[in-house]
A and B are shown apart, each in its own frame.
Chain A
Amino acid sequence: MSSLSLDLYKKLFLSRAAEECIMKYYHEDDMKTPMHMSMGQEFIPAAVCQALGERGQIFTSYRSHAPYLCRTDDVEGFFGEMYGKISGPMRGKGGSMHLSNPDLGHMCASAIVSSLIPVVVGAAWANKMKNTDKIAAVFFGDGAVDEGCFWESMNISALMQTPALFICEDNGLAVHTSKRQRQGYKNLPDIIRHFDVHVITSKSTDAEEIHGLVKEAMDVIDKTQKPVFMHLECYRYLEHVGVYEDFDAGYREKEESWYDSGALRVQRQRLLDQGMDEKDIVQLEQEIETRVENALMAAKAEKFPEDDELYEGVFYG
Chain B
Amino acid sequence: MVKMTFQDALLDATTLEMARDDSVFVYGIGAPDHKNIFGTTTGLVEKFGENRCLETPLAEDSMTGFGLGAAMNGMRPIHVHIRMDFVLLAMNQIVNMLSCASYGSCGKLKAPMVIRAIIGRGWGQGYQHSKTLHSYFSHIPGLKVVLPTTPSDAKGLLTSAIRDDNPVIFIEHRWLYFAEEDVPEGDFSIPLGKGKVLREGNDLSIIATSWMNIEAMEAAKMLKEYHGVEVEIIDPRTIAPLDEEIILSSVRKTGHCIVADNDWSFSGFGAELSALVAEKAFDSLKKPVTRIGFEHTPCPTVRKLENAFYPNAKTIVRAVEEKLGLPKSDLSSQDLFSHERKFKGPF
What residues of chain A have their CB less than 8 Å away from a CB belonging to chain B? 29, 32-35, 84-85, 90, 92-98, 110-114, 143-144, 146-148, 174-177, 181-183, 241-242, 249-251, 304-305, 307, 309-311, 314
B61 touching A148 by the CB < 8 A rule? yes
Q: How far is the CB of A245 from chain B (nearest CB, A)?
A: 14
Contacts of B30 in A (CB 8 A): 175-177
Q: CA–CA, A241 to B345, complex, Å? A: 9
Contact present for B309 and A310 (CB under 8 Å): yes
Which chain A residues lie closer than 8 Å to B127 at the CB level? 93, 98
- List 11 other contacts, CB 8 Å, given A98-B301, A111-B129: A32-B303, A32-B345, A84-B304, A85-B302, A93-B127, A148-B62, A176-B34, A177-B29, A182-B58, A249-B34, A309-B305
Residues B294-332 near A (CB distance < 8 A): 295-298, 300-305, 308-309
CB distance from B56 to the nearest CB of A (A): 8
Query: Chain A contacts of B62 at CB under 8 A?
Result: 148
Which 3 A-B pairs rank lowest in CB-CB distance, beginning with the nearest? Answer: A84-B302, A92-B302, A95-B301
Inter-subunit contact B345/A34 (CB<8 Å): yes
Q: Is B126 an interface residue (CB 8 A)?
A: yes
Q: How far is the CA of A309 from the CA of B305 in the complex (A)?
A: 8
Contact pick for B57, options A85, A183, A241, CB 8 Å: A183
Q: List 10 A-B contacts (CB under 8 A).
A: A33-B123, A84-B302, A93-B126, A97-B124, A97-B128, A146-B59, A148-B62, A175-B33, A251-B33, A314-B298
Q: How far is the CA of A176 from the CA of B31 in the complex (A)?
A: 11
Q: How far is the CA of A182 from the CA of B344 in the complex (A)?
A: 30
Q: With A34-B345, A174-B58 in contact, is A311–B297 under 8 Å at CB?
A: yes
Given A92-B300, A94-B126, A95-B126, A176-B33 contact (CB < 8 Å): yes
Enumerate chain B residues within 8 angstroms of A309, measured Cβ to Cβ: 305
The A contact surface, by secondary structure, is loop
Known interface pairs A35-B346, A95-B124, A113-B58; A307-B33 also in contact (CB < 8 Å): no
* Closest residue of B by beta carbon distance from A150: B58
Pairwise interchain contact B295-A310, C-beta atoms closer than 8 A: yes
> What residue in chain B is nearest A142 (Cβ atoms)?
B58
B304–A307 CB distance below 8 A: yes
Q: Are A307 and B308 in contact (CB under 8 A)?
A: yes
Could you tell me which B residues sit within 8 Å of A by CB distance?
29-30, 33-35, 55-59, 61-62, 85-86, 88-89, 123-129, 295-298, 300-305, 308-309, 344-347
Number of residue pairs spanning A and B whose beta carbons lie under 8 angstroms apart: 124
Tell me the minimal C-beta distance from B303 to chain A in angstroms. 5
Cβ-defined contact, B129 with A84, below 8 A: no
Min CB distance B45 to A, Å, is: 13
Q: Is the CB of B297 within 8 A of A314?
A: yes
Residues of B within 8 A of A29 (CB): 344
Q: Please tell me if the beta carbons of B347 and A181 are within 8 angstroms of each other in the complex.
A: no
Please give me the residue from chain B that is nearest to A311 by CB atom: B297
Nearest chain B CB to A69 CB, angstrom units: 18
Residues of B within 8 A of A242 (CB): 345-346
Answer whether A147 and B305 are a contact pair too, CB < 8 Å, given A98-B127, A112-B85: no
Q: Using Cβ atoms and an 8 Å threshold, which residues of chain B touch A175?
A: 29-30, 33
Say whether, besides A176-B30, A177-B33, A251-B34, A304 and B124 are in contact (CB < 8 Å): no
Contacts of A181 in B (CB 8 A): 55
Residues of B within 8 Å of A250, CB to CB, are: 34
Most buried by A among B56, B123, B124, B295: B124
Q: Do the beta carbons of B35 and A176 come within 8 Å of each other?
A: yes
Find out whether the CB atom of B29 lies under 8 angstroms from the CB atom of A174: yes
Residues of B within 8 A of A96 (CB): 124
Question: In the complex the two chains form, what is the Cα distance from A113 to B304 in whole Å?
Answer: 27
In the complex, chain B residues whose CB is within 8 Å of the CB of A32? 123-124, 301-303, 345
B305 touches A34 (CB 8 A): no
Chain A residue nearest in CB terms to B298: A314
**List of A residues within 8 angstroms of B129 by Cβ:** 97, 111
Contacts A34-B123, A148-B59; is A304 near B302 (CB within 8 Å)? yes
Whether the pair B347, A34 counts as a contact (CB closer than 8 A) is yes
Output the least CB separation between A40 and chain B (Å). 18
Considering only CB atoms, which chain B residue lies closest to A174 in the complex? Answer: B58
The residues of B that contact A307 with a CB separation of less than 8 Å are 304-305, 308
Closest to A141 in B: B58
Q: Is the CB of A311 within 8 A of B33?
A: no
> When the two chains form their complex, are residues A84 and B301 in contact, meaning their CB atoms are under 8 A apart?
yes
Which residues on the A side are within 8 Å of B303 (C-beta)? 32, 84
Q: Chain B CB within 10 Å — which of A98, A146, A183, A310 has the most?
A: A310
Q: Are A93 and B301 in contact (CB under 8 A)?
A: yes
Which of A113, A146, A241, A305 makes the CB contact (< 8 A) with B302?
A305
Q: Given known contacts A94-B301, A305-B304, is B128 in contact with A147 (CB within 8 Å)?
A: no
Q: Is the CB of B55 within 8 A of A310?
A: no
- Tell whether, in the assembled complex, residue B58 and residue A111 are in contact, meaning their CB atoms are under 8 Å apart: no
With A176-B30, A182-B57 already in contact, the answer to whether A98 and B126 are too (CB < 8 A) is: yes
Given contacts A112-B85, A250-B34, A182 and B304 within 8 Å (CB-CB): no
Residues of A close to B61: CB separation below 8 A: 148
> What is the bound-complex CA distance between A147 and B61, given in angstroms?
9
- Looking at A32, A242, A314, which has the most chain B CB atoms within 10 Å of its CB? A32
Question: Are A310 and B34 CB-contacts (below 8 A) given A97-B128, A241-B347?
Answer: no
